[in-house]
Structure 1
Amino acid sequence: MEVLELWKRNLERTKNQRTTEAYVRHIKNFIDTVNIGEEELLKVSSAQIFKYVDSTDLGPTSLLANLSALKHFFKFLLRREYIDRDRFTDIEQAIEELREELNAKKRPTYPKALTKEEVDNIFNAVKGKRYEKIYSLFLYSGIRLGEFENLDKSSFYLDKSGILWIRLEPHMTKRNKGRLAPVLAQDRDETYRITDRILKWIENYEENFRVKRGVLQVYTDRLSKRLGIPFSVHSFRHTYITNLVNSGFPVEVVKEFAGHSNIKTTIETYYKFSQRRAEELVKSFLSG
């Protein structure tokens, strides 16, 4: 269908590849579930949106992702005048009502930062292996797995103060917005130590860091089970951001380093649950 292909092209210009593929998959799942042809997408009603949610076996989190894709698609149709404002408003109201219900059902999940003991155990298990280098990059830069896949030696540069930065171009990032991510540890000395190591490792970037996404995820999952430590590659990102918060970095700086699209995400996800940072602030207040 023409509009589906046009929408896909729009996604390819405004979203990264993973998001584009996911959104298109969600729309096709909707078509199959409500049993309509692609040509009937222009006539979809709120009743069909409700029918879709009621008849699918997807969990709340997956359904919310599907609804985001649906809203994006129908907003695209409205802006291109394939559907009128009344139809879009009807669909939008249904989606927002369903979102409210699903968010109420969705169990809250909070990012778990790894403890020092857990980090030590993980790195002891991979010492001398390529995964020690890969995990170090994730732990001390907070980059996402999708961003890591697009890195090469030219992505790194050392500033005059000795801080190593990773330059992430827009096409590398989740939100299609470029940023600079500093390599930082929990204190200055450790930061310089890890910077020296990473600088040596990136001299032979392909050998030390290039690994297929699936291979890395499978290895990490198996290591997690073997060590009895529930963690994924993304756990290193949570740990990095949590360490920034605990070190006293302002929320607007953490937002930029982490690549969050909205400062609300940074505040509600990390600052809200930083008990250690709260205790340090109280101590600082009392001693001042």
Structure 2
Amino acid sequence: MEHFIDTYLYELRKVRDEKTIKKKEYLLKHLQDYSEDLPAFDQSEIFSFYEYLKNKNLKETTIRDILKEVRLFYEWLQEQGLNLKFDEKALKKLFQSKKSQEALKSKKKYYSDDEINLILNAIRGAVEGISTKHPIYYILTIFLLCSGLRISEAVKVRKKDFEVKRILTEEGEEKEVWFVKVREGKFGKERKALIYFFRPEWKRIFEERLKKLKPEDFFFTYAVKYPKSVKVFTLTDKTAKWFYWKLEKELREKGYEIEVNAHRFRNTYITKLATKGFPVNLIADWVGHSKISTTMDVYMEAEREKQLEAILERI
């Protein structure tokens, strides 16, 4: 393969500038890493190559450039008399499928588990090229996912607003059920919301944090160390929204097409509880929807999105 690529680039140097040649060389290097021989790119091989590139954490735009350059390289090979297949219809089908999936993601109302992991990892500094954020934003994100509160409601929660009830299950086992009191909800209404820890480690994070707070303390009080002092702040909805806006911007710059906003955390809470079998009327009470139809709409749209995603994955 190396001989053919070198010859291809040599011929192109006669008509293209060196910057373009270097880019093409970089793009074709991924083909060399993928296979020692020149593969026949039928639909199965094209999709396999795409998944290989995806697993290298390359940007979607870079993957497209690689596939397009490989197609041009194979056209040149065919002109040289080599009988090597490259299924252009399959490539077009792949691009259309991925375009549909990206469009779906851009308007999707809830987060998948992979998207939740991406956001949390970015906050922890576990995504390459993104610095570690203050731990308060990790806790805030978990809280929004587990409580369904609006961000304006969440930042006003105090330690005394948490309530842990112990109930007996049908099997006779004791189980904890967590609630949070929303004192200043939308339209000034008070309510209680179920806190459902979708992962056991999240509950432990909350337990440890509550131990450090006094009853009147805001839950989202945090300290920032400066060279000569430590200052204590209470998170505001404006600061939190600004944080998520900046985080989304950072992720997009690294090639991750994802929206990061509190409302989608809220909708994720609704969707997860509904799929676990919680009655929609109870969920509506917990999230403070005045109409049960609003809650039902979120759930039904999420179900339609999941069905569409499953279809697109099979294309």
Q: Which residue of structure 1 lines up, in the alignment, with residue 120 of structure 2?
A: 123
The answer on 1:212 being equivalent to 2:228 is: no
Is the 2:146–2:197 contact (alpha carbons within 8 Å) kept by the matching residues of 1? yes
When normalised by structure 1's length, the TM-score is 0.52
Q: Which residue of structure 1 lines up, in the alignment, with residue 150 of structure 2?
A: 144
- CA–CA separation in structure 1 for the residues paired with 2:259 and 2:293: 27
Matched positions, count? 165
The answer on 1:164 being equivalent to 2:181 is: no
- CA–CA separation in structure 2 for the residues paired with 1:273 and 1:120: 19
Name the SS of the counterpart of 1:175 in structure 2.
helix
269, 273, 281: which one pairs with 1:244? 273
Give deviations 1:137-189, integer Å, cap 9, x for gaps. 111111001211321111112111312210112xx101332221111134xxx
- CA–CA separation in structure 1 for the residues paired with 2:240 and 2:251: 16
Q: Which residue of structure 2 lines up, in the alignment, with residue 199 of structure 1?
A: 207
253, 265, 268: which one pairs with 2:282? 253
Name the SS of the counterpart of 1:215 in structure 2.
helix
- Amino-acid identity (%): 25
249, 253, 270: which one pairs with 2:299? 270
144, 154, 158: which one pairs with 2:160? 154
Give deviations 1:245-278, integer Å, cap 9, x for gaps. 1112111111112111011211223235424888
Give deviations 1:56-110, integer Å, cap 9, x for gaps. xxxxxxxxxxxxxxxxxxxxxxxxxxxxxxxxxxxxxxxxxxxxxxxxxxxxx97
The answer on 1:177 being equivalent to 2:185 is: no
Mapping of residues 31-110 of structure 1, within 5 Å: none
Q: Which residue of structure 1 lines up, in the alignment, with residue 246 of structure 2?
A: 222
Change in Cα spacing, 1:218 to 1:278, as seen in structure 2 (3 Å) is closer
Amino acid at match of 1:214: K
Name the SS of the counterpart of 1:112 in structure 2.
coil
Amino acid at match of 2:152: G
Name the SS of the counterpart of 2:186 in structure 1.
coil
When normalised by structure 2's length, the TM-score is 0.48
Q: Where does structure 1 differ by over 3 angstroms across 4 or more consecutive aligned residues? A: 275-279
Is the 2:110–2:302 contact (alpha carbons within 8 Å) kept by the matching residues of 1? no
Amino acid at match of 1:193: E
Is the 2:108–2:305 contact (alpha carbons within 8 Å) kept by the matching residues of 1? no
Is the 2:110–2:268 contact (alpha carbons within 8 Å) kept by the matching residues of 1? yes
- CA–CA separation in structure 2 for the residues paired with 1:112 and 1:120: 17
Q: CA RMSD of the aligned region, Å?
A: 2.6
